[in-house]
A = this chain, B = another copy of it.
Amino acid sequence: MTVAENEINKTTKQNITPVVEDYLKAIYSLRQTGETVRTAALAVRLNVKPPTVTAMLKTLADLNLIRYEPYRGVELTESGEQIALEVVRHHRLIELYLVEALGFSWDEVHDEAEVLEHFISEKLEARIADYLGNPTHDPHGDPIPNLDGTLPETTANTLADFSPAAREVRVVRVRDQNPDRLRYLSEIGLVPQSTIKIVAAEPFDGPITIQISKKKIALDRQLARLILVEEMKG
């Protein structure tokens, strides 16, 4: 906190609307890909037009939630990231809760969580986390941020990048939210914690062939990039 706060720019609870939370979450998630976060990408992600994004970026900058360089891109400030992580925590807790407590399947939970994440109280969040035994990962294998805004350790390679030495690997995470693809993956048994064998990988962008309980399956390279695996230990 080296920057002086003035009356005009003070971030209050009221300023943090669901829309603001969505922008922060989008910036957070686009940043994960490594690229600088630009207006166009945010517009696509949030389903609004670029001028709308520009207007909101100014607001967020005024609230000290992002650092905004016109024409160049944005990044979250410390407090912006805290809020993004809170929302992500809500999202992933809700997803897991719907699966564990109410019998939802993993392809159904995203849309529901996308809404509810903005509206559960601290108390409800705590009860849910408690019920679930303070879990570290959601049904997709995504890490659930801790209450203090730190992330649980996650080390994994994507299935696409993993050197294909006919090795057995464990699926730890599936970074996809498309219900149809998720249903397909469930069907073939490719879900977090399952074990698969990498059989062959075409060079460049060709498909990757894996084996799941005796069945061989060719996976699109793009899809393989969304699947995180780790080497079996022991």
Q: Which residues of A contact B (CB under 8 A)?
A: 98, 101-104, 108, 111-112, 115-116, 119-121, 123-124, 127-128, 131
Contacts and interface: CB of A to CB of B under 8 A. Distances in A.
Contact of A119 (B101, B104, B119): B119
Given A108-B123, A112-B120, A116-B119, 17 more contacts: A98-B124, A101-B101, A102-B124, A102-B127, A102-B128, A102-B131, A103-B127, A104-B127, A111-B121, A112-B121, A112-B123, A112-B124, A115-B119, A115-B121, A116-B116, A116-B120, A119-B119
A119 B116 CA distance: 7
9 contacts: A101-B101, A102-B131, A103-B127, A108-B123, A112-B120, A112-B123, A116-B116, A116-B119, A119-B119
Contacts of A128: 102
Contacts of A120: 112, 116
A226 B73 CA distance: 58
A142 to B, nearest CB: 20
A223 B121 CA distance: 29
Contacts of A115: 119, 121
A106 to B, nearest CB: 14
Contacts of A119: 115-116, 119
Nearest to A102: B127
Contacts of A131: 102
Contacts of A127: 102-104
A134 to B, nearest CB: 15
A121 B104 CA distance: 13
A101 B127 CA distance: 10
A231 B37 CA distance: 67
Contacts of A121: 111-112, 115
